[in-house]
Each structure stands twice: as C-alpha cells, then as structure tokens.
Amino acid sequence: MYRNMFLNSSLRLNNKQKQYLKDILILNQISHKLSLDSRSYFLITINIFDQFIDVEEICYNSTGQLYSIFFKDKTAKALCHTIFNSQHVNILLSNQHVAYLARELVKSELGILLSQQYIQD
C-alpha cells in the first residue's frame, strides 16, 4: 500500500529522503505482525504547517485510570530519544512496541518531508 505512494513520490526526493523511503519499506516488512502492549498505546499525528510530529501516549495506571503524556518534536529521532529516555512513567514497552513506534515515527516524519497525509497503522 505505502510502496506505491512512496514510489510515485520518489522522483521529487533528495538522497536523504530516499534513504527514509528505503528504511520505512524495510521496517514495514520486518514488523508486519506485531502484538502491542495492553498497558499503553500511542497516537501519532503530524502538522504539516508547523512541521511537528505530535505523540500522545495513553497509559493505564495501577487502578485502571487513563492518563496521557504528550510529546512534540520535529524528527522521529528526537522523539524516540525523548520517549525512550524519559523518566515519566513506570511503564515498560515491549521490544515489538518499540519497533512499531519507531517505524510509525519515521513514517510520520516522511509525511512531513513529502507534505503528505500520515495515517497510523
């Protein structure tokens, strides 16, 4: 599905953007079947106008109450660093969830670079 979108857009890409394209296609193949954590999940959106990626982590505390943590930055790399190294929560993410989140953040950054809509899987 994304392959056609990327390939049609590849004529306008510079070398850095083409590397993102290759990376996301590889990640899509590797993490095709993921089982995500039930303790938290992430909602990712982009704002093409201010070129920020917005991430909301929705968590369940020990009593089952929902709460959200918000992250915002311009690159997938910066967001990964902030999310994975922050001391905000006692929730541990599975390796599969980390891989999924990283893949989605790269896709969202690519959406900003190409001025295209981002749809979270």
- pLDDT tens digits, 30-86: 555 555 566 788 999 999 889 999 999 888 877 878 888 999 999 999 999 998 887
Top mean-pLDDT range of 4-8, 13-17, 100-104: 100-104
Q: Between 110 and 95, name the one with better pLDDT.
A: 110
| Domain boundaries defined on the chain | 2-113
- Across 12-39, average pLDDT: 60
For helices 15-30 and 95-113, angle between their N-to-C axes, nearest 10 degrees: 150
* φ, ψ at 64 (rounded to 5°): 90, 5
pTM: 0.68
d(C-alpha 26, C-alpha 10), whole Å? 16
